[in-house]
């Protein structure tokens, strides 16, 4: 399981995704990077990126509602911390990937493992 919070940032390659104008406050952006489905959030100007596949039963976790720091998987209600990908609520017990996000020159970049 990849989680940047426990990895060295030196092992990441930041990939340009889109201009920030394509991800307004409160919205989410679904992208595929290196054959991985990823969802990026803009929450009050803070950006987060997690894998869009639930670790419980492959549900579309990125479609879930956000409660506090958690996103609630729409399939069975498992919850994950969108900052770290950590599984927070049953039936989810395995973390999902989380990726760092940078804004540089008005563009969104997501850090992927090299």
Interface residues toward ligand FES, by CB under 6 A: 54, 56-57, 59, 61, 73, 75-78, 91-92
Can you list the positions of beta strands (E) in 1-114? 12-19, 28-33, 36-43, 46-51, 65-67, 70-72, 79-81, 87-89, 98-99, 101-104, 107-113
Q: Which is nearer to ligand FES, 36 or 75 (CB)?
A: 75
CB of 76 to ligand FES, least distance (A): 3
CB of 72 to ligand FES, least distance (A): 9
CA 26 to CA 37: how far, in whole Å?
A: 20
Q: Which is nearer to ligand FES, 12 or 79 (CB)?
A: 79
């Amino acid at each position: 399981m990849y989680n940047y919070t426990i990895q060295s940032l030196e092992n990441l390659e930041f990939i340009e995704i889109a201009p920030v104008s394509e991800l307004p406050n409160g919205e989410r952006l679904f992208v595929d990077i290196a054959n991985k489905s990823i969802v990026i959030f803009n929450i009050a100007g803070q950006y987060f990126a997690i894998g869009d596949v639930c670790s419980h039963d492959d549900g579309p976790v990125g479609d879930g509602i956000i409660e506090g720091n958690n996103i609630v998987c729409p399939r069975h209600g498992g919850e994950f911390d969108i900052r770290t990908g950590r599984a927070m609520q049953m039936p989810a017990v395995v973390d999902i990937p989380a990726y760092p996000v940078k804004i540089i020159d008005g563009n969104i970049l997501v850090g992927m493992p090299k």
